[in-house]
Amino acid sequence: MDWQKLTVLITGGTGSFGKKCTEVLLKEFHPRKLIVFSRDELKQHEMRQRWSDATGEWPIRYFVGDVRDKDRLDRAMDGVDVVIHTAALKQVPTCEYNPFEAVLTNIMGAKNVIDVAIDQGVQRVMALSTDKAVNPVNLYGATKLVAEKLFVQGNAYSGRHGTMLSCVRYGNVVGSRGSVVPLFMNQRMNGTVTVTDERMTRFWITLEQGVRFVLRCMEQMHGGEIFVPKIPSMRITDLAKAMAPGCEIKISGIRPGEKVNELLLSDDEIRQAIEFDDMFIVQPCFSWWGSGNWNEGHTLSLGFRYSSDSNPQWLSPNELMEMVTALEVQ
């Protein structure tokens, strides 16, 4: 891919991932044009203070719109080559309390992105997913599982030589809005931090790592894959101790829709998954998929589990704090 010749659109472009992706693309990849698509005019205004669309310094445009609005997506994707789909309702309690809204954004919004991308002749679309889509126990995870299915099977609608659609699936992002890191940052000022369950473990990735993984996978995709990076696990109690030394850790009780441990590959996906040094790829099992698309990976044994509690790679307290410190100085 020659990014300098491409027009890129990011849905949910004012979110944590979208802003970091914008930064990396503009500074290092230099696309012909970058379109930030989101429904939050205030956050777009704040982004303009850093990357103005008025001076000509940056090849960037801001579109106010919602992925629920197919007509607005159709206008925004006119002439677009590459779409990175990050827009979602992602807070577990919010989705549990507002289930219809979660479905409209996470599922119907995904359908709209796919339909418009195909109609507009977009070359590649990469959607962001989550470990919560694997054997989901909450509505957020369930909607992301459906979105994954839509993006994989959407390739049957686009045709072999049409729009390619794939997903990236990874774990919790350090410092993303509403995540546990900013929560602990605020709570430690009062001397007490809350953890829902002392056994809880999570996969962990930084925004920078997530963005670079997505961009690399976009360059390699054939359409239909689910890309899963190999990332470390962490115990939430270890994070609390590292971020708030000397503070009391209060166990508040597990919330509805919350898992103790997360999976990044389901038992059934193991049959279609192949392993590389730094990632797994779940290949689709449909007739349109080219069996020779990925020849270098290794198949996985049926007893393999990629779970946050049995992960061979763990973050040390020092590594955790390096991530957190990097966030605090930004």
The catalytic residue positions are: 132
Distances (CA, A) of 322 to 68, 78, 235, 239, 280: 38, 42, 16, 12, 26
Residues 6 or more apart whose Cβ sits within 8 Å of residue 135: 263, 266
| String of DSSP letters for 249-294 | EEE--PPTT--SS-EEE-TGGGGGEEE-SSEEEE---STTS-TTS-
Residue 28: strand, helix, or coil? helix
Q: CB pairs under 8 A, 24+ apart, for 160-164?
A: 160/288, 162/118, 162/121, 163/117, 163/118, 163/121, 163/122, 163/123, 163/124, 163/125, 163/223, 164/123, 164/124, 164/125, 164/221, 164/222, 164/223, 164/224
Report angle CA 197, 240, 168 to the nearest 5 degrees: 75
- Interatomic CA distance for residues 255 and 252, integer angstroms: 9
Residues 6 or more apart whose Cβ sits within 8 Å of residue 15: 38, 86, 87, 176, 177
